């Protein structure tokens, strides 16, 4: 997902120190979202090389520690790759796209009520429609290979809100579009695929979202809400 470069905002000179600190923190969060988004997309050659060389793990750990976010000690590993990128891609499709079942979809609509409020439907539900409206309004270009509410794109959108310092919009986005990640983690834990890198990315995503929501003062989801999301997803991917 890409966008035109936003106009940089300025602050009075007396606020420079506070603003610089806030901007550094925002950029770390945005960089973490962007890194996790890359880990949750179909692997390309660059990601394969970065994971294999340990660069992905090093960058993730540095960002998480700088933001005091717990670094998962499992499942999986941030530097585990099979031999060859094709095998790496198969691990991705096995865990997230049903090459092996059960699996863990990365699409928000799967976890949400359908347009009529029922558990029916599947892809392109209300979250996808809302995300597409957001992209259109913001001038974002969305890859055709992904659903609008794919977690990688959702993370990139969160990063964009941070980089333009849209604090109220970012908090609302955390509340309404990033409460389903614990349900994703539940499905990933129960999935059949042995995909150590991508399992680790899901665990890291859950830690990141949990920390972000807590620091923004966003409550939930409670266990019953997570259970309902898991149930909807399991019905839809049977």
Number of structural domains (the chain) is 1
Q: Which residue has the tokens 């949990």?
A: 210
What is the CATH number for 41?
1.10.3480
Give 128-140 pLDDT, tens digit per residue. 999 999 999 999 9
Average pLDDT, integer, range 219-230? 96
For residue 211, tell me if it sits in a domain.
yes
In angstroms, rounded to a whole number, what is the distance separating the alpha carbons of residues 133 and 110? Answer: 18
Choose the weakest-confidence range: 2-16, 20-34, 190-204: 2-16
For residue 51, tell me if it sits in a domain.
yes
For residue 227, tell me if it sits in a domain.
no
For residue 85, tell me if it sits in a domain.
yes
pTM, full prediction? 0.89
Reported confidence tier of residue 194, pLDDT bands at 50, 70, 90: very high
Is the CB of residue 167 less than 8 Å from the CB of residue 34? no
Domain of 23 in residue numbering reads as 17-73+81-108+150-222
pLDDT at site 1: 66
**Residue 12: pLDDT above 50?**
no
For residue 212, tell me if it sits in a domain.
yes
Reported confidence tier of residue 111, pLDDT bands at 50, 70, 90: very high
For residue 145, tell me if it sits in a domain.
no
In angstroms, rounded to a whole number, what is the distance separating the alpha carbons of residues 166 and 132? Answer: 19
For residue 131, tell me if it sits in a domain.
no
Note if the bond before 75 is cis, omega within 30 degrees: yes
Reported confidence tier of residue 13, pLDDT bands at 50, 70, 90: very low
The 3-state secondary structure of 75-112 reads: CCCCCCCCCCHHHHHHHHHHHHCCCCCCCCCCEHHHHC
Percent of the chain with pLDDT over 90: 82
For residue 23, tell me if it sits in a domain.
yes
Average pLDDT of the chain is 90
**Residue 14: pLDDT above 80?**
no
């Amino acid at each position: 997902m890409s966008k035109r470069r936003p106009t940089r905002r300025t602050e009075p000179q007396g606020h420079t120190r506070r603003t610089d600190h806030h901007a550094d923190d925002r950029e770390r969060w945005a960089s973490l979202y962007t890194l996790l988004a890359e880990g949750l997309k179909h692997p390309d050659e660059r990601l394969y090389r970065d994971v294999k060389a340990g660069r992905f793990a090093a960058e993730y750990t540095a960002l998480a520690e700088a933001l005091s976010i717990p670094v998962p000690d499992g499942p999986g590993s941030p530097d585990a790759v099979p031999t060859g990128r094709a095998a790496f891609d198969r691990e991705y499709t096995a865990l997230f796209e049903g090459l092996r079942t059960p699996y863990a979809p990365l699409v928000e609509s799967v976890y949400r009520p359908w347009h009529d409020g029922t558990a029916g439907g599947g892809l392109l539900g209300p979250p996808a429609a809302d995300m597409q409206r957001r992209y259109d309004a913001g001038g974002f270009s969305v890859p055709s290979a992904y659903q609008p509410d794919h977690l990688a794109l959702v993370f990139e959108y969160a990063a964009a809100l941070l980089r333009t310092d849209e604090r109220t919009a970012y908090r609302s986005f955390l509340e309404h579009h990033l409460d389903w990640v614990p349900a994703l983690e539940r499905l990933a834990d129960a999935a059949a695929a042995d995909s150590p890198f991508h399992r680790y990315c899901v665990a890291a995503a859950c830690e990141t979202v949990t920390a972000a929501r807590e620091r923004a003062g966003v409550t939930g989801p409670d266990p019953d809400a997570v259970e309902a999301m898991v149930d909807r997803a399991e019905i839809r991917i049977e």
